[in-house]
């Protein structure tokens, strides 16, 4: 095991898969000579050349369409969105083409496409650069969606996504690139459809993903000192949602809190709540608590920006209320 930054873990995964398979290539804005906005592709153009690390114009709809066409012909493109918000400009290609072509072609085409890049609320990036798009894409049939939260799962998930024959969106959080964590020296991959049990507990199940995992674990430190015993699950897979892992936890605790950075209306938490209420309502001893971002454009002002996002104190207070 070695300590690695999250952006380096993603870079290692990309490098290893490109070295192994000549059909794998990366494209996007500034991924080549500049090395990517967050240095995930740093120096890869030196090793693989400008045709496998392809700098594109500022034209998301065009290069997304090109990537999908490349995937249809047997290549394995990785599209980096400089900011995931920009990929709304390619929403038509992602939904009508990437998500549906394997089905509408009767299985004649595979779409081994990875779409990855930074999202989430950063530090004063403004409303247009602070979007959480997981719920936008979750409704699209044919996509797989994962959200990494540590260097370990970032590397394992990206390698699995590159090898998958279906389109996969990997959400990275803009504030986690400099997170340092242990990554195995030997090769490994992680499943794209499984949640991670982060901490075992007996009183309340706290379900989360992406950067909120770290807010939850900070809250858990305080909760344990107060005598509480929370169980923590990192969803990781946002489509499909690994609801069975949530249910297994709920059978023990009978209490559920969902913590997300996504918008409250129509967010990932809303889908989890719907599935639990539809099929496992009798496991609940109390209503589910949903802690989500406020339904407003993220303010540029730093204090207002922080007020829109869930913090550890809110998680602590919610556990107290739920178990009182």
Q: Quote the longest CA-to-CA distance of the chain.
A: 61
- The string of DSSP letters for 6-64 reads HHHHHHHHHHHHHHH-TTEEEEETT-STT--TTSTTTTHHHHH-TTTEEE--S-HHHHH
Report the DSSP beta bridge partners of residue 140: none
Q: How far apart are CA 189 and CA 255, in angstroms?
A: 32
Annotation marks residue 60 as catalytic = yes
Cβ partners under 8 Å of residue 144, min gap 6: 161, 164, 166, 167, 168, 169, 192, 193, 237, 239, 240
Q: State the catalytic residue, choosing from 45, 129, 215, 255.
A: 129
CA distances from 268 to 50, 201, 275, 306 (A): 38, 23, 11, 20
Q: State the catalytic residue, choosing from 17, 29, 60, 231.
A: 60
Task: Provide the 3-class DSSP secondary structure of residue 219.
Answer: helix
> Which residues are tagged catalytic?
60, 129
């Amino acid at each position: 095991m070695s300590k690695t930054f999250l952006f380096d873990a993603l870079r290692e995964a990309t490098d290893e898969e490109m070295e192994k398979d000549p059909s794998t290539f990366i494209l996007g804005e500034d991924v080549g000579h500049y090395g990517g906005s967050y240095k995930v592709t740093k120096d890869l153009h030196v090793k693989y050349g400008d045709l496998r690390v392809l700098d594109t114009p500022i034209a998301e709809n065009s290069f997304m369409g090109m990537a999908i066409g490349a995937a249809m012909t047997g290549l394995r493109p990785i599209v980096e969105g400089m900011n995931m918000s920009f990929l709304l400009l390619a929403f038509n290609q992602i939904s009508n083409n990437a998500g549906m072509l394997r089905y509408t072609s009767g299985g004649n085409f595979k779409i081994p496409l990875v779409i990855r890049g930074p999202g989430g609320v950063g530090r004063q990036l403004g409303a247009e650069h602070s979007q959480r798009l997981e719920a936008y894409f979750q409704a699209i049939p044919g996509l797989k969606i994962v959200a990494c939260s540590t260097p370990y799962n970032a590397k394992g998930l990206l390698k699995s996504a590159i090898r998958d024959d279906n389109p996969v969106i990997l959400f990275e959080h803009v504030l986690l690139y400099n997170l340092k964590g242990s990554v195995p020296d030997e090769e490994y991959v992680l499943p794209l459809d499984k949640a991670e049990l982060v901490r075992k507990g007996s009183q309340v199940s706290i379900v989360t993903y992406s950067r909120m995992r770290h807010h939850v674990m900070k809250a858990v430190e305080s909760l344990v000192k107060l005598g509480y015993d929370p169980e923590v699950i990192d969803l990781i897979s946002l489509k499909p949602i690994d609801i069975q892992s949530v249910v297994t936890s709920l059978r023990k605790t009978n209490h559920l809190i969902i913590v997300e950075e996504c918008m409250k209306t129509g967010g990932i938490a809303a889908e989890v709540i719907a599935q639990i209420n539809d099929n496992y309502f009798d496991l609940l001893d109390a209503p589910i608590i949903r802690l989500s971002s406020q339904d407003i454009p993220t303010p540029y002002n730093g204090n207002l920006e922080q007020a829109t996002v869930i913090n550890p104190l809110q998680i602590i207070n919610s556990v107290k209320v739920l178990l009182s």
